[in-house]
Structure 1
Amino acid sequence: MHRRIFLLFFLFILTGETVVYGQTDTLSPINYAFNLANCIQYGLQHQNDIVNAHLDVAFAREQIKEATAKLFPHGEIDASFTDNLQLATQFIPDFNGPDPTQLIPVQFGTRFASGVTGQINQTIFNSDYFIGLKASRVYKDLSQKNYKRTEIDVRVAIAKAYYAVLTNQENIRLSKANMEQLAKTLKDTKARYEVGIAERVDVDRIQVSYNNVVTDIENNIRLLVYAVQLLKFQMGMPQEANLELTETVQDFNVQEYIEDTINYHIQDRVEYGIQSTQISLNELNLKAKKLAYLPSLSGYINYGWNYYSQAFADLWKRGFGSSALGLTLTWPIFTGTERLHQIKELQITLEQSRNTLNYIGQQIQVEVANANTQYQNNKALYATQKENMGLTQGIYDRIVLKFEQGVATSLDVTSAESDLKQAQVQYVTALLNTLVSKTDLDKAMGKIK
């Protein structure tokens, strides 16, 4: 019961806190035989968050191209058609009349008019364009760091789910060993009862223990099925696929793990790099706002045709060409005090981002210290529980031997069996905690790349 409660609790925590959403697949079932490295490699190719993070990097590349394209010449064509249903009336002096000061109404123009003009614009200098180009490159670096963070999270999630499967398998292996021993003891006790050497209570006590072990194995098998499903989910593997792990917990000798928590660098943590990149973006934003005081200069050249006619049918029979070449200078000399306050706001934001970087550095040091403490404690507890399980197994074997010799009671056997199960629960728990805390320590030190 303790073993089931622990594993259910661990899988619940794993599902609630470290699950990352995986993609579904409707392909036919495929058989996979993977170790931990294979599972991680598969996840880095198929897991949904990884795929989206990779698309973010591609999106950032397109933004750089977009920023660069703003510096290229831009061409446009404008066309117009006008039907002056009633020409506008204006007043001019009557130069042909007796009184030149007398104003007479006249109408200028034709009823129909049309025009088409092609123009090419070229930015010569604009601080926003050049700063935007630099910012897009920094944003690409930020997207790549975010991709790396997603990759690390996927590696950690897969590793923890993988360890959960292995410890479930170990739990089942130990329970089956108990079942085999109890089955033999139960068979011998029944035989002794039939010849009048043992009592009925001895048979019933051992039968109860045997039934509990059988039920425990069945429950653990169901937990194992769920653990495998969770692992496939973390990997982005279709649930219909058949996944077999080629490693056991014996392949991970946690007692030989040695971690150097002194000679690590906080710069190895991707979160530190992300914040450093964010500072670069804030610096560019501040620079862009300051350079907004500079003028912008652009050039243009155009050519077009204009058509006029009193009759629509004759409108496009004759055109009049026109062309122009020029420069446009825009200089925002004064915009009130708005820009000054915006600059101060960006300076404050920049200072905050620098403070955050310093805080992240301190936070990483605390996380490493905490993760190392947890790992060292779990590692020491694992060594103790492994030894205790061996001692408890020896006690159980001797009690069973004494029971078969008639110098121990069935109560001694069931009590020893209960102690053995408890020792196995503590061993599996310590093993899983050690593997998980080792992963957390590697992540805290920035060793998971």
Structure 2
Amino acid sequence: MQVRKIFRMNRGLFLVSVLWLGWGPFASSQELDASADTLELTLNKAIELALTDNPTIHMANKEIERVDYAKKEAWSSLFPAISADGSYTRNMKLQVLFLPDGVFGPGTGGAMEMGFKNSFTGSVTASMPLFSYSLYQNIKISEHEVKAAFESARASRINMAAEVRNAYYGLLLANDSYAVMQKSIENAEQNLVNVKNMFDQGMVAEYDVIRSEVQVRNLRPSLVQAENGVRLSEMMLRVLLGVRQEIEIKVMEELFDFENRVGAATTSGDVDLSGNTDLVQLELQLDKMQTQYNLVRSQRYPNLAGFINYQAVSQANDFQFSEYRWANPFSMGLQLSIPIFNGFSIHHQEKQVAIGMEQMQIQREYTERNLTLQTRNVYTNMMKALEQIDSNREGVKQAERGFSIAQTRYNTGSGTFLELNDAEMALTQAKLNLNQAMYDYLAAETEYLKILGQDLPSIGQ
């Protein structure tokens, strides 16, 4: 039965849920009113909570902030760099100058001491790059990193929204399946009452009463499994939203509230992957590698910088600073650096980056082919789900009519309990199949638009 399939699917997710919940609520579910004991949830509100509170989204936003500062750091290299230095030297022995005898008259010459015991020097230096091709390429690389961070954040939001939608749809499917099973038990219990009344009147055999009681008992485990499916689906949604266990979740929508969206994303089978976040990130990496190639080549270009230097210099044998005489040399100029030969290292670096670009291009083409096939496969699943919805909806109508006829035949004595039981089981299975077909379409639509890098329209749009 369909409800057992749902239970087995959710049972596989249970261990993951337990592990995640062991970390505790990660989100600002603490931002929810602490006194509130019920969270009324819609799909749009669930996505809003996840995108606001999920740590993956927070980390992506922090990465954007980090690379923005890295970009500003790269731009700051174009501004003047100013530094101040100071030094004190104690000359334990003064330097000497050797002069030939008689250079300044008879008896002069030999070794003559020069300078003073104390030497003070202070300087202020400012330098600024006037032309440096490598600096401009570094700035471009930082801009590529900013774009990559924004795209990574967009990918995180798209993936998180898709996960929340799937979990939300899974909870709606579990709720509807539970309602179907509950209705099935109500029908079986009502049949049991009718059969007992007919048995008391001698209209049916005791076998029908026994068979009816067995039918009710056989349905109860399925109802328990459906209830477990609801609980596990809700647990998965709590994990994604970071909602505390003590807060009750009340979903305000049903699975078929989204029926107006069926077919909205299936107007064309054309594949447009221009918005796919994986391909966009690969394109950004290719652009960045091209800039890295230019950065390597920039080592072949000359660098030109301007500088200004101001000093204050004085020497004395004592520490009477007020009587010091200070010299103030001042200089400014240009510094040109021209690379001539570096042992072919730049050439080899260029080859490495060029090969890396070729590898990235191959990876991009491979990814695009896989995504194209994946998109067409998901699109095909959507088309099949649409056909299944129409078929199952007609099946429910026929099963309802069949169940009504079987009840009438049995109550008039012209039908058997086996016919009534089969009709009731067929109606239950038809409703479960219709719910599953609707879920399959919504899940396929979520995956389809996730691959395309698009967001799903809100309900009502």
TM-score above 0.5, yes or no = yes
How far 1:93 moved relative to its partner? 5.1
Over 3 Å counting, the alpha-carbon distance change for 1:7 and 1:377 in structure 2 is farther
Of 364, 368, 385, the residue aligned with 1:361 is: 368
**More deviation, 55-64/72-81:** 55-64
Q: In the alignment, is residue 209 of structure 1 matched against residue 205 of structure 2?
A: no
Q: In the alignment, is residue 443 of structure 1 matched against residue 429 of structure 2?
A: no
How far 1:105 moved relative to its partner? 6.6
Q: Which residue of 2 aligns with 1:245?
A: 251
Decide whether the 8 Å contact of 1:298 with 1:328 is kept in 2. Answer: yes
Of 101, 108, 125, the residue aligned with 1:95 is: 101
Q: Which residue of 2 aligns with 1:130?
A: 136
Task: Specify the code of the residue in structure 2 equivalent to 1:5.
Answer: K
Over 3 Å counting, the alpha-carbon distance change for 1:222 and 1:16 in structure 2 is closer
Q: Which residue of 2 aligns with 1:303?
A: 310
Q: Which residue of 2 aligns with 1:405?
A: 412
Question: 1:320-343: CA deviations, max 9, x gaps?
Answer: 333222222222211101110111
CA–CA separation in structure 2 for the residues paired with 1:14 and 1:340 = 56
Of 434, 454, 461, the residue aligned with 1:427 is: 434
Aligned residues: CA RMSD = 3.4
Of 42, 47, 61, the residue aligned with 2:49 is: 42
Q: Which residue of 2 aligns with 1:370?
A: 377
Decide whether the 8 Å contact of 2:81 with 2:126 is kept in 1. Answer: yes
Of 322, 340, 350, the residue aligned with 1:333 is: 340
Question: 1:301-338: CA deviations, max 9, x gaps?
Answer: 12232343434x44685243332222222222111011
* Structure 1: tracts of 5 or more residues without a match: none
Decide whether the 8 Å contact of 2:199 with 2:209 is kept in 1. Answer: yes
Over 3 Å counting, the alpha-carbon distance change for 1:15 and 1:149 in structure 2 is farther
Q: Which residue of 1 aligns with 2:29?
A: 25
How far 1:227 moved relative to its partner? 1.8
CA–CA separation in structure 1 for the residues paired with 2:295 and 2:188 = 78
Q: Which residue of 2 aligns with 1:182?
A: 188
How far 1:29 moved relative to its partner? 5.2
How far 1:72 moved relative to its partner? 0.9
Question: 1:218-244: CA deviations, max 9, x gaps?
Answer: 432332233233224334555554443
Decide whether the 8 Å contact of 1:80 with 1:116 is kept in 2. Answer: yes
Identical amino acids, percent of aligned pairs: 18
User: Which runs of structure 2 are paired with 1:16-415 in the superposition (5 Å)?
Assistant: 23=27, 25-27=29-31, 28=34, 30=36, 31-84=38-91, 86-87=92-93, 92=98, 95=101, 108-194=114-200, 197-253=203-259, 256-257=263-264, 259-311=266-318, 313-314=319-320, 318=324, 319-415=326-422
Q: Which residue of 1 aligns with 2:459?
A: none
**More deviation, 364-373/318-327:** 318-327
How far 1:448 moved relative to its partner? 2.6
Total equivalences in the alignment: 443
Q: Which residue of 2 aligns with 1:9?
A: 9
Over 3 Å counting, the alpha-carbon distance change for 1:441 and 1:11 in structure 2 is farther
CA–CA separation in structure 1 for the residues paired with 2:407 and 2:297 = 85
Question: 1:234-268: CA deviations, max 9, x gaps?
Answer: 34555554443332122222655461334453223
Over 3 Å counting, the alpha-carbon distance change for 1:285 and 1:120 in structure 2 is same
Decide whether the 8 Å contact of 2:94 with 2:117 is kept in 1. Answer: no
Task: Specify the code of the residue in structure 1 equivalent to 2:29.
Answer: D
How far 1:146 moved relative to its partner? 1.7
Q: Any idea what SS the aligned residue of 1:443 has?
A: helix
CA–CA separation in structure 2 for the residues paired with 1:70 and 1:258 = 49
Decide whether the 8 Å contact of 2:101 with 2:110 is kept in 1. Answer: no
Q: Any idea what SS the aligned residue of 1:92 has?
A: strand
CA–CA separation in structure 1 for the residues paired with 2:336 and 2:99 = 40
CA–CA separation in structure 1 for the residues paired with 2:99 and 2:455 = 89
CA–CA separation in structure 2 for the residues paired with 1:296 and 1:396 = 89
CA–CA separation in structure 1 for the residues paired with 2:227 and 2:35 = 21
CA–CA separation in structure 2 for the residues paired with 1:240 and 1:226 = 16
Over 3 Å counting, the alpha-carbon distance change for 1:14 and 1:37 in structure 2 is farther
Task: Specify the code of the residue in structure 1 equivalent to 2:171.
Answer: V
Task: Specify the code of the residue in structure 2 equivalent to 1:38.
Answer: K
* Structure 2: tracts of 5 or more residues without a match: 457-461
Question: 1:68-87: CA deviations, max 9, x gaps?
Answer: 11111111111223344x43
Question: 1:186-245: CA deviations, max 9, x gaps?
Answer: 222333445555454433332232234344334323322332332243345555544433
Task: Specify the code of the residue in structure 1 equivalent to 2:380.
Answer: T
CA–CA separation in structure 1 for the residues paired with 2:27 and 2:196 = 54
How far 1:94 moved relative to its partner? 5.5
CA–CA separation in structure 2 for the residues paired with 1:417 and 1:317 = 114
Task: Specify the code of the residue in structure 2 equivalent to 1:68.
Answer: W
**More deviation, 2-11/115-124:** 2-11
Over 3 Å counting, the alpha-carbon distance change for 1:13 and 1:218 in structure 2 is closer
CA–CA separation in structure 2 for the residues paired with 1:108 and 1:201 = 129
TM-score by length of 2: 0.83
